[in-house]
Amino acid sequence: MKAVFCTEYGPPEVLQLKETEKPKPGDKEVLIKIYAATVTMGDCELRNLTFPVWIRVPIRIYLGYGKPKNLIPGMEFSGVIESVGKEVIGFQEGDPVFGSSGLKMRSYAEYKCQLHTYAMAKKPANVSFEEAAAIPVGGLNALHFLRKASIRPGQHILVNGAGGSIGTFGVQLAKLWGAEVTAVDSTEKLDMLLSIGADHVVDYTKEDFTKNRTKYDVVFDMVYRSSFTGCVRSLKSDGCYLMANTSPLRMLRGLWISKRSNKRMIFEMAGEKAEDLTCLAGLMAAGKIKTVIDRTYPLEKVVEAHAYVEQGGKKGNVVLSIKS
């Protein structure tokens, strides 16, 4: 089968399409013929190790310190189950599925194995494989954090970095739950954000939302280098700051503020649960939310896809089409 290997840590050109052996599922695994995968910013960061130092060292230890060891990237996928292990429950040959591989990755390939108990769900019939592949990372994170904020109808929520994988789901879920949503991103993403339900948009290249004196019930922040002080200042006295992209210093500052005020600081990792994917699939099937797909590339153009995502301007998701 064909698969993309990350041969070094570095620029997109370290990704190479090669022939490799087709995997065989274990007793608790399913073998999936992959139809689509995605290129996330996380995939790019794992490839070039542009993480902060506190993350970079553990990642090197896990993936290979000098260079990656047999690494096939790709954390999101959709496809059709070709065979199942003898202990698999709930899935059978021929099921169209989608899911997340987490740091096990291996979705940039024609086939992959997946534990049946991990984050995987059946694809709705009215959702394309490309749309389904783009659900897990953004959808699961948005669902996790907004649930933690206990969104109520009428609340005013600001989504910072709204035009990416997590942000586009965050805008839609917040609207679905009755919130008034302000979406912050760059100029070229504003029309898209309005089209998926944002009530207000802020162009961060022209305006700093932390200085406009508006107070929000919730600030949902995907931007690693955003102003922590500014975001906290933008909250109401009992507001909630959701930090989807944080650092140890921000965590410590958040704990300190939580103890000294009524503001809540939430920065825990989102889990990857099959039941949450099923929930998102149901919302997709009912037309209540959708995935935003910027561009689709064939697997052979994975280098070009990574280069585009790394520029930081993608609207929603970038998808790799793999089915033959």
pTM of the entire predicted model = 0.94
Flag whether 271 is in a domain: no
Residues 220 and 315 in one domain: no
Residues 252 and 156 in one domain: yes
User: Does residue 263 contact residue 239 with C-beta atoms inside 8 Å?
Assistant: yes
**pLDDT confidence of residue 324:** 61
How far apart CA 78 and CA 109 sit, in angstroms, is 11
175: domain CATH number? 3.40.50.720
Residues 15 and 70 in one domain: yes
Residues 238 and 155 in one domain: yes
Q: Tens of pLDDT along 164-198?
A: 999 999 999 999 999 999 999 999 999 999 999 99
Flag whether 74 is in a domain: yes
25: domain CATH number? 3.90.180.10
Residues 168 and 214 in one domain: yes
**pLDDT confidence of residue 19:** 97
Residues 207 and 310 in one domain: no
Residues 181 and 248 in one domain: yes
Name the CA radius of gyration of the chain, rounded.
20
How far apart CA 8 and CA 307 sit, in angstroms, is 16
Range(s) of the domain holding residue 142: 138-266
Flag whether 109 is in a domain: yes
Residues 131 and 179 in one domain: no
3-class SS of residue 132: helix
Flag whether 69 is in a domain: yes
Residues 154 and 262 in one domain: yes
Residues 119 and 149 in one domain: no
**pLDDT confidence of residue 239:** 97
**pLDDT confidence of residue 323:** 77
Residues of the chain scoring pLDDT < 50: none
Flag whether 272 is in a domain: no
3-class SS of residue 45: helix
Residues 154 and 261 in one domain: yes
Residues 192 and 256 in one domain: yes
Flag whether 247 is in a domain: yes
- Number of domains, the chain: 2
Flag whether 255 is in a domain: yes
User: Does residue 92 contact residue 81 with C-beta atoms inside 8 Å?
Assistant: yes
User: Does residue 196 contact residue 292 with C-beta atoms inside 8 Å?
Assistant: yes
